[in-house]
Amino acid sequence: MSRYSSGNRAGAVVAIVADIMALILGLWILMYLLDANRANDLVQFVHNAANWLAGWSRDLFTFDKAWARVIAGYGLAAVVYLFVGHAIAGRMSRN
């Protein structure tokens, strides 16, 4: 049995969108840590999308190390999107 009832697909859509947003942010963190080639089109696309998604949290922390700022800023956005997205999806599925 699915977590979201067949009568209310909107909750499932919200959860999937939140998952995709968090996946993009997590993918950028991984690409940054693995020093991906920034001239690559896929890397540029993921970086631009992650910058847009984490615009509100990207420079929130001022750690000395750049990798810590990336993990904290983009990671916070990913966690918030997952938490809020799934909370909204759960509320929509109950109603």
Q: What is the pLDDT along the chain (95 residues), one digit of tens a residue?
A: 455 555 478 889 999 999 999 999 999 999 999 999 999 999 999 999 999 999 999 888 889 999 999 999 999 999 999 999 999 998 887 76
3-class secondary-structure state, position 5 = coil
Spatial separation of the C-alpha atoms in residues 61 and 72, rounded to whole Å: 7
Reported as type and span, the H/E element at residue 9 is: helix 9-33
Q: What is the pTM of this model?
A: 0.87
CA-closest candidate to residue 79, choices 19, 6, 36: 19
Q: What is the pLDDT of residue 1?
A: 43
For residue 30, what are its two tokens?
């991984």
DSSP tag of 42: H
For residue 79, what are its two tokens?
């966690």
| pLDDT tens-digit series, residues 61-84 | 889 999 999 999 999 999 999 999
Q: What is the pLDDT of residue 5?
A: 52
